A and B are shown apart, each in its own frame.
Chain A
Amino acid sequence: MFEPSARRWQGPSGRSRVGTSRPSLAVDRIRCDGRGYCAELLPEMVRLDDWGYPIVSSDPVPDHLLDHARRAVATCPLLAIRLAEGGRSR
């Protein structure tokens, strides 16, 4: 079973970044219409439920996925997903 919060990436150097505020993904649930580009571009952190709507990991985006995350955010035609500084995603 997919458990996004159970997989914590440490980064290429093997050390996890502690203390810096890393961005996390946040979805505007009203704008989202379940077309799923975000899940295609960032499967490590986004998967789709039975109806095509995203289930997004609330963990901070690890460094090696940041570019992919930015691309996923930019590709959403409805601007329904964004990178937020810290905090939890809704």
Chain B
Amino acid sequence: MTSQWLWYTTRGAGVISLVLLSAVVCLGLLTRLRVRGEGWPGFLTAAVHQDLALVALVFLGLHIVTAVVDPFTSLGIVAATVPFGSSYHTVWLGLGTLSFELGLAVGLTSLARRVIGVRLWRLVHWLAYACWPLAVVHAVGTGTDGHSTWLLGITIVCCGAVLTCLAWRLVAAPPDPLAQLRPGRLMAGGGR
């Protein structure tokens, strides 16, 4: 009985994590695009991006814990922490583990931004562009729902949203207004 609930929770939390992560990536791209309007201030995009990221990590944690704890699966801590360390669906699962760890790095550096500084934070944040596609591949490739219609449908919608935002960002993102004029800024770092 318990095992069945754990299994449902694993799958459910996993799907929710994927949806949330996709939303987080979209919001991150929209933040970069400085999207704002009547009734939707700019900081809100950035704030929701941060808050949803934390929620996504919670669901991701739930997904991982239930998967490991479930006696039906032979997954241990190793599978959850060492990419490609599991014998079950080694590659697909491993990509998920990798995605989780990249996401964790992004999340933790964001929480510690004040301590590590903006430069290091921004550098690690680029890993988000690896974290998300790995999560998608993991979702589709691992587990029994991999080929079910509803999961594929959700995945397509998530991919569509992220790719649309990505295209928009590549085409229309306002450049840093002073970047081209500022040869010294790249070297000047400012005060810490």
Contact = CB atoms under 8 A, between A and B. Distances in A.
A78 B117 CA distance: 9
Interface of A: 28, 30-31, 33-37, 40-41, 51, 75, 77-79
B178 A28 contact: no
A87 to B, nearest CB: 14
Contacts of A79: 113-114, 117-118
A-B pairs with lowest CB-CB distance, top 3 = A37-B43, A30-B190, A40-B41
Contacts of B55: none
Contact of B42 (A30, A33, A37): A37
Contacts of B117: 79
B188 interface: yes
B147 interface: no
A19 B117 CA distance: 34
A47 to B, nearest CB: 14
Contact of B43 (A28, A34, A40): A40
Contacts of A35: 34, 42
B98 to A, nearest CB: 26
Given A40-B41, A79-B114, A79-B118, A31 B190 contact: yes
Interface of B: 31, 34, 41-43, 46-47, 113-114, 117-118, 176-178, 185, 188, 190-191
| Residue with the highest number of chain B CB atoms closer than 10 Å, among A30, A51, A77 | A77
27 contacts: A28-B190, A30-B188, A30-B190, A30-B191, A31-B190, A33-B176, A33-B178, A34-B177, A35-B34, A35-B42, A36-B42, A37-B41, A37-B43, A37-B46, A40-B41, A40-B43, A41-B43, A51-B177, A75-B43, A75-B47, A77-B31, A77-B46, A78-B118, A79-B113, A79-B114, A79-B117, A79-B118
A88 to B, nearest CB: 15
A31 B188 contact: no
Nearest to B41: A40
Nearest to B110: A77
B2 to A, nearest CB: 41
A86 B25 CA distance: 39
Contact of A31 (B34, B42, B46, B118): B118
A59 B97 CA distance: 50
